[in-house]
Structure formats: structure tokens, C-alpha cells
Amino acid sequence: MHGKVFLTGGSGLLGRQVRLALGRAGWDVVAPTHAALDLTEGAQVRECLASAAPDVIVNCAAQRHPDRCESADPQVVALNVALPALLGTLGIPLLHISTDYVFDGTTPPYEVDAPRCPINAYGRQKAEAETALDGLPHALTLRVPILFGPTDDWRASAVTVLAANLVAARGAAVPMDDLAIRYPTFTPDVARQIVRLLPALRDGLAGIVHYSGEEPLTKFLMALTMAPMVGCEATQCLPERTPPTVPRPHDCRLSVRRLQGLGLYERPTPFATALLRTL
């Protein structure tokens, strides 16, 4: 047994895979449900952590839908900004999940020390959380891009929702963004990467690391790969080149050089293989 991990967001798209991977690796996982612990209630969070006394915290909880972050709802800010800041104050080794949206997407690839320059509220909230952890000797921020992976609801991921939309359209054309470049990343790969990082975190690894899928794809191109896997025609995918209402970065490719240099990097599963395991 490695020790005890306190996992937030353990029911989420990433959190579920992290929980499985940690369990397989022999960690004791404490992952309170949302009903058992509201993470926007700082006092409750402190109390729960004091009683769990974990060796490590992994923070996968967030509101990660950019459109739902724009209104700066206090509950969203509490989850995306105040929670990671609070977790950082406890002195317990903390692995916090962040996003490529802390960048504006104009000058890829981004190294871990590239200046943050978010262009929407979600990116600004995640950047503020990262800033609160900057310089803490026990905090490690792992940035990842768009995620997909095993789920009982394809709509839970911005990748597999495309397959759900194709199926629901019953042969009709579905517009798919063909502007923004994304690097879809498989949640079981991220979960394994987190498991590899925890011993290093306990040994003092801090700062920021990046992990990312390797294939640059627009959502239109992702959908072309998915269509035959879900019994749809590729002709249903309609390339769309209209910018979204809430601004999204164009291309935030994350450089994985630091992780490679640490000898902790594991190559990601190819996109098509990962999709076959997901759909």
C-alpha cells in the first residue's frame, strides 16, 4: 500500500478513471461524493480533510464547461478558484488538474513556464487557481487538454458528444467546428500518468507539468474518425468555420518536455484506438 489519497471529483469524467487507476496501483482512495461533501464549503472541506488525514490530495473537481463559467457564479468561482487555493494552504502534497485554456492559443507549443494568457472566464479561473499554487513546494499542477474516455454518457465529454450528436441526427448533417485545433487526450492515459506522478510529488516534485494527446484535430476531423465507429456516414459531418460566442483558444498545444525530462512520461494511446475503447 502506497498510502491514502483524498480524491475530489471522483465521479467525473477524469476522476472515475483516476479512482480506478489509484485502486489498481494499491493506493487507499477516499473520494467523498458531492452529496457527502460540497467542495464549495471551505469549512466542511477542512474538516473532512482533517479527519481523513490523507498522504496526498488529487483535485479533479471543477466546473469545466466554459459557457457555465462566464457568469462568474460564486459557486463556480468557489470550486474553480477558492477550492484549489484552500487545498494548497494545508501543507499536504497536492496534485491539481488544470487546463490548456490558461493560454490564448496563438503561439503553440506552450512550455510549462509560458506566461498564462487566458481569453475566457474558465481559463481565467483556472489560471487564478494555478497562481495560488505557484511556488508552493508541495503542489504540482498537471495541465491537460480536451478529455474523453470511458463513460456511461457520451455527452459527458466534448469529444464523444460529437458521436452522440451524429447518432441523434439520424442521417442528417451535423455542423462540427473545423477551426480550433485540439489534442484529444484519453482519460485512462491521464489517470496512469497521475499514478506515476504521485511518488515524485511525495518526494518533492512541484510546479507545473503538461500531459497531452499527440494528434492535432479539429472537432470536424474527430467526428470523421468517429462516424463509422457509431454506424454513421462521414458525409453527416459538416465542417463549420464560425467562431463560438464564448471565445475559445485556437491551438494550445502543450509541450510535454518537462515530463519527458523527468523520465515520467508515458506515450498516449493513439486517438482511434482510444475511441474504439470508448464508443
Structure-derived torsion over alpha carbons of residues 267, 109, 197, 130, reported in degrees to the nearest 10: -150
What end-to-end distance do the CA atoms of the chain give, in Å?
33
Assign 44 to helix, strand or coil: helix
Establish if 46 lies at the interface with ligand NAP (CB under 6 A). Answer: no
- Within 58-87, the residues that bind ligand NAP by CB under 6 A are 60-62, 64, 79
| Radius of gyration of the CA atoms of the chain, in A | 18
Structure-derived torsion over alpha carbons of residues 95, 97, 101, 102, reported in degrees to the nearest 10: -20
- Within 140-159, the residues that bind ligand NAP by CB under 6 A are 144-147, 156, 158
C-alpha to C-alpha distances, 163 to 29, 168, 225, 248, 265, nearest whole angstrom: 32, 9, 10, 21, 30
Instruction: Choose the stretch contacting ligand NAP; rule: CB under 6 A; options: 138-146, 172-180, 204-212, 260-268.
Output: 138-146
Cell numbers for 145: 487538454
Establish if 191 lies at the interface with ligand NAP (CB under 6 A). Answer: no
Secondary structure letter of residue 118 according to DSSP: -
Q: Which is closer to ligand NAP, CB of 40 or CB of 218?
A: 40
Q: How far is the CB of 171 from ligand NAP (least distance, A)?
A: 28
Establish if 222 lies at the interface with ligand NAP (CB under 6 A). Answer: no
- Within 77-136, the residues that bind ligand NAP by CB under 6 A are 79, 97, 99
Q: How far is the CB of 34 from ligand NAP (least distance, A)?
A: 3
Establish if 163 lies at the interface with ligand NAP (CB under 6 A). Answer: no
Residues of this chain that interact with ligand NAP (CB under 6 A) are 9, 11-15, 34, 38-40, 60-62, 64, 79, 97, 99, 144-147, 156, 158
